[in-house]
Structure 1
Amino acid sequence: MAEPLLTYRGVVHPWHCDHMGHMNVMWYSGKFDEATWNLFAELGITADYLRTASRGMAAVEQHITYQRELFPGDTVTVHTELLEVRDKVLKARHTMRTGSGETAAVMILTAVHLDTGPRRATPMPPAVLKAARDLLPAT
């Protein structure tokens, strides 16, 4: 079974917090988004590839479950595991944890690989598909 990848490491800054004193939901989404781009880069879906191949990635579904508040000064990590790989689609689970290892939030993300000209789903390159399938849990 492939181990989840460390795709994000950061800290909660005071400006991430709302009037309740905890990290606002927009920042959970932002940290998960950064984790997503690190996952893509790990698979070969880099900014250079996207520009030169006229390709894009689009989130088509996201579900976040909030399990613990985060406060200024908390350190966080996101570990990511792929759940499903299809020719045009990746589905992943991001788990955000505190520095002490408590789960703060979980996001399930479905993303589609696009041709940016017609804005239509298109198959990922074979090397990307192989890299992604190599990260799937053994069945």
Structure 2
Amino acid sequence: MTPPHIASTHRGAVLPDWIDSNGHMNLAYYLVAFDHAIDVFTDSIGMDRAYRDAHGSTIFVVETHLTYARELVEGDGFRIETRVLGVEGRKLRLFNVMYCGDEADTVATNELMILHVDMRTRRSAPFPAPILARLIEWEARQAALPPPPEAGRAIGLQNRTKTL
């Protein structure tokens, strides 16, 4: 059951083909698992295949950030919980947290910037009012939650004085 503060939950298991030469889940398959979680989320808010076919619109991910906290190995079950961090017109910011089975420790996170797209023009377009209302409702429900510590992170190195 999805906790009341989470927009949706996806469950899966690490498949044999997802294991790399280091004996753990390859980084590419974390993104595959997170993508499946986005499908569960969009279905839950009414943006399923029937919606996409009827309205000629969909979503495109325009930016994504992954963080890793621990390894998963073949056969490990996982769950991914999705939160709405922000919505504005045609933009949506989602945040996913992956856990191993029913454990509470974070395995990986995924932050996404998404655009709603009119497939006839292949340009961004505002979310339809009913979908936007659901997204705003989720954003409001989750507004009191502390922001995920990984949200908004950027990749960088600490400033160091270069010595020769």
TM-score scaled by structure 2? 0.80
Give the deviation of 1:42 after TM superposition. Answer: 1.2
Equivalent of 2:17, from 15, 18, 43? 15
Give the deviation of 1:96 after TM superposition. Answer: 0.3
Cα RMSD of the aligned pairs, angstroms, is 1.2
Letter in 1 for 2:122: R
Normalized per residue, the structure richer in strand is: 1
Give the deviation of 1:41 after TM superposition. Answer: 1.1
Larger CA Rg, structure 1 vs 2? 2
- SS in structure 2 of the partner of residue 135 of structure 1: helix
CA distance in 2, matches of 1:13, 1:138: 35
CA distance in 1, matches of 2:8, 2:107: 15
Q: Which runs of 5 or more structure 1 residues have no equivalent in the other structure?
A: none
Q: Which structure 2 residues correspond to residues 59-138 of structure 1 after superposition, within 5 A?
A: 59-99=61-101, 100-136=103-139, 137-138=142-143
Give the deviation of 1:5 after TM superposition. Answer: 3.1
Equivalent of 1:54, from 53, 56, 59? 56
Equivalent of 1:45, from 24, 44, 47? 47
Q: Can you list the C-alpha shifts for 1:109-135, whole angstroms capped at 9, x where unaligned?
A: 111001111111111111101111111
Paired residues of 1:84 and 1:91 also in contact (CA < 8 A):
yes
Letter in 2 for 1:3: H
Q: Which runs of 5 or more structure 2 residues have no equivalent in the other structure?
A: 145-164
Percent identical among aligned pairs is: 31
Give the deviation of 1:20 after TM superposition. Answer: 0.6
Give the deviation of 1:7 after TM superposition. Answer: 2.6
Instruction: Report runs of 4+ in structure 1 exceeding 4 Å deviation.
Output: none
Inter-CA distance 118–6: structure 2 relative to 1 (3 Å threshold): closer
The count of aligned residue pairs is 138
TM-score scaled by structure 1? 0.94
Paired residues of 1:7 and 1:36 also in contact (CA < 8 A):
no
